[in-house]
Structure 1
Amino acid sequence: MRRRAMRPLLVESRPARLAVAAAVLAATAGLTVTFVSSGGKGTADAATTLDEFVPIQDVAPNVRTPRPSGGASTGRFTVDCGTNRGGKFSPDNPVAQPGIKNGAEHVHDFVGNLAITATSSDPDLAASGTTCRNGDRSSYFWPVVRIDRNVRSDDQVRQALTRTQPEVACPRVRDRLPAVPAGVRTSVERRLADLNKLEAVAGQRMAASRGRIDADLNNQVLGWLRSRRAALINGISASIGSRADGLVSLADCDVSYDGMHAAMPGAWHAASVAAIPVANPQVHCPTVRGRLPGVPAQAVAEVNRGLDELDRQTSAANERLVTAGSQGRDFVENAIIGPLRAKRTAVLDRIATTIGRFGARPKGLESLAGCALNQSPAGPPPTGAPSSAPASSAALPDPQGPNQELPGNTGGIVRPAKVLIEYRGNAVSKVVPMPRFLRELTGDAKPTSRGPANARATWTCSGFADRLADRYPICPPGSQVQRVQDFPGCWDGRNIDSANHRSHVAFADRTTGACPAGFTAIPQLRITISYDIPRDVQLKGQYALDSFPEENHNPLSDHNDFINVNSTRTMQRIAACLNAGRVCR
C-alpha cells in the first residue's frame, strides 16, 4: 500500500502559511519569532522563495531552558555516529511509515544502524552493523538538505494540486504478519478484509478535497481510520498471540498527493540522471509472510523461525550494499543478489516442508526466492495462499543518480559538516533507561497537510543557540546553518510505539521541565546538524529541505526520527551518567 500528507485551504501564499504556523507555535510552545520581509518571491525558478528565509539576527531569542531543581539529572552523554559519509540514503521512514517502500517521498540521511529499511524487524536491527563508534546500533535519520537553482515555481505546484485527487494510503498489515495458525486463519482474513474496506471508505471521503488541501478533513478522516484500524489490528494480534505484538505500529495511515508528481512536467531531473546508477541501492524481495496459507499449530514455531531468517538475510544484504560502496551491478548480482536467492530458496523449501509435515504442502513458494535492486519483484501467490489486498497506486520511482533525486526533491545533497547526538537529563527528576526498540519522532513532515500542532522550530546558526526559527536561516559570515531537533523526554512506562507514533512519549513542560502526569523521564535525545552552506546560496534562497510534494520544501516541515537499539547495558550506563551529572561518551 502507500502513504502521505496535506494542507489547510487550497495552497495559501507561503508567508500566510508561515504566519499561521508561527501563531500556533507561539501559543503551544512559547516561541517568539520575529518575521522580517525579505523582499517578495525571489526568482521564479528557485527551490524556495525568499519569504521563507530570515537573517538569524532578526529572530528574537526564544529558547528557554528550565532551571534544574535539587533532584535533576544534569549530565550529558554524546554518541559519535558520523555524518553519513558512507552514504546511507533512503526515502523510507521506518518510524512514521513502517512497511512502506519510499513512504517519505523524500530522502533521509541515516546514521547508526546500517541495515535498517522500512521493513526491518527488531531482531534485524539488533544484528546490524553501525556507524556509531561506541557500537550503538540505534537508527537516527532526518530529511536531507539540498542546493538547487533549477526547481519548479510555486505556480507549478498550485496548478499540479488543482489536478490532484488525494488518496488514503496505509501500511499492509498482511505483509508483516507472523505465521498464522490454521485455526484462526479465517478470523484473521476477515479482519484483513475489513481493513481494506475501511481504507476504501476513507479514500472515498477524501474525494471531497480534490484539487485542494484540507487539514481539518484529513485529520478527521485519518483519526477515524486510525482508531478503527487499531481495533482490528489488536484483534489480529490477540488471535495470533505474542508473535504479533507490535502490529499497532501499522495502524496509522496518511493522505497521499502522489498525483502532483505526474502533474508537474519537468519538475525533476529524471531525464538527466536516469542513465546514472543509483548511488546506494536497496534489495527488495517478494513478501512471504502475507502469502502463506494457515499454518498447522505444530509447525508455527518452526515456520516463524524461517520467516525471521528470511528477514535477516534481506537485512544483511542491504547492509552489505551500504558497506561495499559502489561496486557495479555485476558485483551486486554475483556477490549479493545471487547468494541471497540461493539462501532464500533453501529457507522457503524448509518452510514448505515443515508445513507439509502436518498438512498440505504449499506450492509455489520457490517463486518468491528472487530479489532485485530498487524495485519490488512480485511473484504469483503460492497455491492455497490468500489473495493480496487490492492494488494500490503505482509506486514512486526510486532515488535517481548520485544526488538521490526524487520528484520535486532535486539538486545536490549537502552533507552535514557535523552531527552532534546527545542524550540529556531532566530538570526536575532522575531518568530511567529508555526501553530497547523505543520509537520516537520529533517535528512533523506535514504541517501544511495535517496542521502545525506537532511542528517545531528547528533552524538556527552556530553562535545563536538562544533562538530557533521556523524559516531557513541566513547566517552571518563564518557561521554554520544548523538544525536543532529535540525529541520527547518522557515515556508512558509501557509502550515502545503507539498507533499515532506519538502518544507513548511526551515532551517535558517547557517552563518547569516536569513530565506530564503518567509519564516518566527518560534520556532526552537532541540532534544538532551543522552545514557549511555558501552564503550567496543562503542570500538567494537556494537551499531547502527535502519534503512531501504538497509541503513544497516548507521549512516548518523539518523532522527527525529515532529507534533505540542501544543494548540494555549501554542505556543503563547512559541513564547513570545523566543522573550523576557527568559528561560522558
Structure 2
Amino acid sequence: MQNAVLGPLKDKRIATVDRIAIAISRSGAPRPQGLSSLAACTLAGAAQGQQGQGASPAPAAGNGPVPEDFVDITEVAPNVPTRPRNGRSASKGAFKTRCGVNAEGRHNSDNVIVAPGVGNGAHHTHDYVGAIGVDAFTTDDTLAAANTTCTNGDRSTYYWPVLRDRSGVEEADAGKPGGGAEGNVGKILTPTSASLTFVGSPTTKVVAMPRFLRIITGDAKANANGGANANAAWSCTGFENRVQLKDKYPICPAGSELVRTERFQSCWDGRNTDSADHRSHVAFADARGNCPAGFKAVPQLVQRLTYSGLAGSTAFAVDSFPESLHKPVTDHGDFINAMPERLMKQAVRCINSGRRCG
C-alpha cells in the first residue's frame, strides 16, 4: 500500500524539482545538482515508517513511463499501411551504409543541429555512429575531416536518444546532466543491430542530397507539441506488420527483439541545408509518394535498431527531456549528410538503377 501512495508522490516531487533546476539553468545560472536525491530523501522517513519486515522499498526515482505506455504486441492487429505502388519512373533500389552499433559507447547529451555550441542542449543522451567526435561544437569542416565508424568512408553523423534498461542497474551518468540528474536513469542498452538504408521514391528518380543537409525526424517534445511531427515506430521482430506508431512501447514475446524504426524525410526544397525550425527545408512525400510542389526527391534514410534481452519487459524507456516523461511518442532521429560526393553519387546511381548496394 505504501508504494501506491509514496511512489507517485515521490515522482511528482522529483519532477517538480527537475523543472525548477531546468528553469535555473536556462536563466544562465549553473544547474543545481542533487535535487532529485534531495526530493527522494524527503520521503524516506515516511517510507521507513510504513514499511514492515520484508516489505519492498519505494520505486526507483523517475518520471515515467507509465503502464499505459506499453502494449502486448501479440494483441495488436496488423496495422502497417500499404506502400504506394511504384510508377514507371520509380527509383526502386537501396543503398546501405554500415556504421556499427556504437559498441564503443560514444555518447553525449548535445544536439549540434538544434543547439549548436550549447553543451547538454538535448538534456538527454544520444548514441552516435558515423563521424567520430561529434558534439555541440562540431562544424561542417570538422565533420568533413572526421574519422568514421562507417566501412565505406561515410562521414555523416547518425544519432538517436539512447534506450535504457530501468530495472535497477545504474549507468555511469546516474548523477550527471543528460543522465540521472534529469530523470534519464538505468543502464544504456547497445543495439544488437543498426541498419542505415537509403531507399528511393515510388514516383520518380532521386537526386543527390547536398552535403551537410540536416534532417530531424520525429519530435522530442511530441507529447507537449501535439504530435504533428511525431514519427516514432516501435515493434518486435516477427511482428513488424504490427508497428506501434507513435504512442506505445511494445511488450515483445520470448525470442523476439525490440525494434525501433525511423523514416526520415525524403523531399528537399532544392536550396537549403537547414531552416529556422530545422524542418521546413525537407518534407515527407504524400500518400501517393509525391513530393510537395518545388521539392525534389532525395534518398530516404530508413534507420532500424534492434535490442535483445527485453522480452516480456516493461522496464525500459527512451531518454527524453524531463518534461517529456519518456513517452514512446517522443522518439526521434538526427542525421547530417557528410558523405563524400563520390559516395553520394554512387548511392543515387544504385537507387535509380533499381539495384541493392552497399
Question: TM-score w.r.t. structure 2 length?
Answer: 0.79
Count of residue correspondences? 299
1:63 alignment partner, one of 80, 93, 100: 80
Quote the residue 1:98 is aligned against. 116
Measured after TM superposition, the shift of residue 74 of structure 1 is 0.5
Asked if 1 retains the 8 angstrom alpha-carbon contact of 2:110 and 2:121, the reply is yes
SS in 2 for 1:502: coil
Quote the residue 2:309 is aligned against. 533
Quote the residue 2:188 is aligned against. 413
Greater RCO structure (CA 8 Å; 6+ sep): 1
| Bigger share in helix | 1
Asked if 1 retains the 8 angstrom alpha-carbon contact of 2:164 and 2:189, the reply is yes
Aligned residue runs from structure 1 range 420-439, under 5 A: 420-439=195-214
Deviations 1:79-122 (A, max 9, x none): 11000011110100112222221011110000001021112110
1:517 alignment partner, one of 286, 293, 312: 293
Q: 1:269 to 1:137 in 2, by over 3 A?
A: closer
Distance 1:68 1:273 in 2: 49
Quote the residue 1:507 is aligned against. 284
Asked if 2 retains the 8 angstrom alpha-carbon contact of 1:106 and 1:406, the reply is no
Quote the residue 1:116 is aligned against. 134
Deviations 1:439-490 (A, max 9, x none): 0010000012222110123101112222321211111211110001000000
Q: Out of 53-62 and 105-114, give the one that drifted further.
A: 53-62
Q: Would you say 1:148 and 2:148 are equivalent positions?
A: no
Asked if 1 retains the 8 angstrom alpha-carbon contact of 2:162 and 2:319, the reply is yes
Quote the residue 2:265 is aligned against. 488
Percent of aligned positions that are identical: 47
Q: 1:427 to 1:2 in 2, by over 3 A?
A: farther
SS in 2 for 1:423: strand
One-letter code of the match for 1:535? A
Quote the residue 1:545 is aligned against. 318
1:555 alignment partner, one of 328, 340, 349: 328
Aligned residue runs from structure 1 range 69-468, under 5 A: 69-149=87-167, 397-398=176-177, 405-468=180-243
Deviations 1:324-355 (A, max 9, x none): xxxxxxxxxxxxxxxxxxxxxxxxxxxxxxxx
Distance 1:459 1:486 in 2: 12
List structure 1 runs of 4+ shifted beyond 4 angstroms: 43-47
SS in 1 for 2:261: strand
Asked if 1 retains the 8 angstrom alpha-carbon contact of 2:259 and 2:304, the reply is yes
Distance 2:254 2:292 in 1: 41
Asked if 1 retains the 8 angstrom alpha-carbon contact of 2:257 and 2:310, the reply is no
Asked if 2 retains the 8 angstrom alpha-carbon contact of 1:115 and 1:124, the reply is no
Distance 1:551 1:99 in 2: 23
Aligned residue runs from structure 1 range 19-30, under 5 A: none
Instruction: Determine which structure has more spread, i.e. the larger CA radius of gyration.
Output: 1
One-letter code of the match for 2:333? N
| Bigger share in strand | 2
Q: 1:141 to 1:528 in 2, by over 3 A?
A: same
Q: 1:87 to 1:518 in 2, by over 3 A?
A: same
Distance 1:75 1:444 in 2: 28
Measured after TM superposition, the shift of residue 149 of structure 1 is 3.0
User: Which sections of structure 1, spanning at least 5 residues, go unmatched?
Assistant: 4-42, 152-267, 275-396
